[in-house]
């Protein structure tokens, strides 16, 4: 009795065809590519014909050997790998070289589920993706990066990838589609970072950049480049922080509003400060400071979604002053940032900011002020699914262990 053949999935066939196109564009035969990657010629043939699905790791090898793979294929594979908890992502390390369906209205999700290669996509579908992103963003701010991450990855790999491969009503719809996808990939990256999965975060941020480049919306690509620079500082691998931040700030200038440009300039200031160039940091801050407490209502959606008010800019200014060694100014700006965040809508970042303000106060000798701001923040930090919150709890425990002990005791009594 013969072996029953298994029909390749449509997604695998599409991905394979795009990988074949990348290989052929690079002028490589299957045999030549096999000599450059840890896969046989036979396996590569199966991948390109869709007989075997391409993993995120396979796509990464194609990118190394053939150059950039189209951003839709890349983010789709990354999302699938994240959902499946593939070993490639589970063990992913940060490399210096280098999605809430239940939270949206049923009609919006039904519209997305019906999308396929022959669908003509209009603005209604784009608004549906934005509604999902908004819902996940609200959930993230209150519950932490560990909540909803798998759902975002699933949404990126399926509905969003399908939409990006569909036919668009016009060029404006195409632009908005890739912009919306970039926002979602950015959010996925931020959630991964908040959960302590920085290798995964980096890959989502890179996908956000490539999708933004496809959208051709002025400044959005540089906004993704900006987060890559800041992320490299967060993970203590700042080799490319300054070039990334400076490219983002320079390219955005004149293409975005003043209140948006300040996001780029303060990021550049922090990058200079944390890599030791204090003069350049102060020069960048001089451009930034007059705009830190300015109106932010003219920021475009892709910036306002993640930096909705003056708190984001003040926070980065505080980090800059901390690196320079001016802790008084650092505490002043960070306390301003903390006060701006709404405790109901931005629960996590307000609590994390309180923890950081307290740490700065402790360093400058204001021990009472530190404990006073920590006391209401600790119960919040203990309830959000956030790796960053957990780290702040550990830091507070070094100086005020009685605050952490009171939470532990309360939890034990309640169980």
Q: What is the pLDDT of residues 264-293, one digit of tens each?
A: 999 999 999 999 999 999 999 988 888 887
- 41 lies in a domain? yes
Q: What is the pLDDT of residue 146?
A: 75
> Taking a C-beta distance cutoff of 8 angstroms, is the pair 299, 345 a contact?
no
- 109 lies in a domain? no
Rg of the chain on CA atoms, in Å: 23
Overall pTM > 0.85: no
- 32 lies in a domain? yes
Distance between CA atoms of 82 and 376, rounded to whole angstroms? 35
Distance between CA atoms of 286 and 192, rounded to whole angstroms? 33
Burial (CB < 10 A; 0-12, 13-18, 19+), residue 280, is middle
Distance between CA atoms of 72 and 160, rounded to whole angstroms? 9
Query: What is the domain-level CATH number for residue 38?
Result: 1.10.260.40
The residue segments making up the domain with residue 18 are 10-66
> Taking a C-beta distance cutoff of 8 angstroms, is the pair 207, 159 a contact?
no
Nearest to 224 by CA among 202, 257, 192, 193: 202
Of 44, 66, 88, the domain-final residue: 66
Of 25, 49, 66, the domain-final residue: 66
- 358 lies in a domain? yes
Q: What is the pLDDT of residue 390?
A: 92
Give Dmax over CA atoms of the chain in angstroms. 81
Distance between CA atoms of 179 and 173, rounded to whole angstroms? 10
Averaged pLDDT score across all residues of the chain? 83
Residue 276, C-beta contacts closer than 8 angstroms, at least 6 positions apart: none
Tell me how many degrees the CA angle 323-268-78 measures, rounded to the nearest 5. 105
> Taking a C-beta distance cutoff of 8 angstroms, is the pair 213, 229 a contact?
no
Distance between CA atoms of 129 and 162, rounded to whole angstroms? 12
Distance between CA atoms of 395 and 403, rounded to whole angstroms? 12
Residue 226, C-beta contacts closer than 8 angstroms, at least 6 positions apart: 244, 245, 248, 249, 263, 264, 267
Q: What is the pLDDT of residue 156?
A: 84
Q: What is the dihedral of CA 241, 246, 248, 252, to 10 degrees?
A: 160
* C-alpha to C-alpha distances, 283 to 229, 238, 287, nearest whole angstrom: 18, 20, 7
Nearest to 62 by CA among 35, 25, 41, 37: 37
What is the tally of structural domains in the chain? Answer: 2
In the predicted model, residues of the chain with pLDDT beneath 50 are 1-4, 86-89, 93-106, 108-113, 411-415
Q: What is the pLDDT of residues 63-117, one digit of tens each?
A: 777 766 667 766 776 666 666 654 444 555 444 443 233 334 445 444 444 555 5
Distance between CA atoms of 114 and 29, rounded to whole angstroms? 37
- 378 lies in a domain? yes
* C-alpha to C-alpha distances, 24 to 18, 32, 66, nearest whole angstrom: 10, 11, 8
- 52 lies in a domain? yes
Of 40, 66, 92, the domain-final residue: 66
CA dihedral (153, 157, 160, 164) positive or negative: positive
> Taking a C-beta distance cutoff of 8 angstroms, is the pair 160, 125 a contact?
no
- 27 lies in a domain? yes
- 111 lies in a domain? no
> Taking a C-beta distance cutoff of 8 angstroms, is the pair 238, 281 a contact?
no
């Amino acid at each position: 009795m013969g072996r029953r053949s298994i029909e390749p999935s449509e997604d695998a066939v599409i991905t394979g065809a795009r990988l074949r196109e990348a290989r052929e564009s690079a002028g490589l035969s299957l045999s030549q590519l096999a000599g450059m990657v840890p896969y046989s010629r036979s396996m590569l043939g199966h991948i390109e014909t869709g007989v075997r699905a391409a993993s995120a790791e396979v796509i990464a090898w194609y990118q190394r050997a053939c150059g950039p793979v189209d951003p839709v294929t890349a983010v789709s594979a990354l999302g699938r790998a994240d959902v499946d908890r593939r070993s490639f992502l589970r063990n992913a390390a940060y490399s210096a070289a280098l999605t809430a369906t239940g939270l949206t209205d049923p009609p919006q999700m039904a519209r997305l589920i019906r999308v396929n290669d022959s669908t003509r996509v209009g603005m209604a579908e784009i608004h549906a993706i934005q509604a999902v992103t908004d819902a996940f963003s609200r959930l993230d701010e209150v519950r932490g990066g560990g909540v909803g991450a798998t759902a975002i990855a699933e949404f990126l790999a399926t509905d969003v990838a399908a939409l990006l491969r569909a036919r668009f009503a016009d060029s404006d719809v195409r632009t908005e589609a890739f912009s919306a996808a970039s926002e979602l990939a950015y959010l996925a990256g931020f959630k991964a970072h908040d959960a302590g999965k920085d290798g995964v975060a980096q890959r989502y941020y890179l996908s956000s950049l490539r999708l933004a480049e496809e959208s051709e919306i002025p400044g959005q690509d540089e906004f993704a480049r900006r987060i890559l620079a800041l992320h490299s500082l967060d993970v203590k691998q700042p080799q490319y922080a300054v070039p990334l931040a400076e490219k983002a700030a320079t390219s955005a200038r004149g293409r975005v509003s003043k209140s948006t440009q300040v996001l780029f300039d303060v990021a550049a200031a922090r990058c200079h400060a944390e890599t030791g160039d204090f003069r350049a940091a102060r020069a960048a801050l001089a451009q930034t400071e007059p705009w830190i407490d300015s109106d932010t209502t003219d920021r475009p959606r892709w910036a306002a979604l993640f930096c909705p008010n003056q708190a984001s800019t003040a926070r980065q200014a505080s980090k800059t002053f901390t690196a320079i060694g001016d802790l008084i100014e650092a505490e002043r700006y960070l306390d301003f940032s903390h006060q701006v965040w709404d405790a109901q809508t931005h629960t996590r970042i307000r609590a994390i900011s309180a923890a950081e303000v307290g740490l700065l106060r402790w360093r400058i000798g204001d021990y009472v002020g530190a404990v006073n701001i920590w006391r209401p923040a600790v119960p919040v930090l203990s309830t959000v699914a956030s790796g960053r919150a957990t780290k702040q709890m550990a830091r507070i425990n070094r100086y005020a262990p009685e605050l952490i002990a009171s939470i532990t005791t309360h939890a034990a009594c309640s169980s």
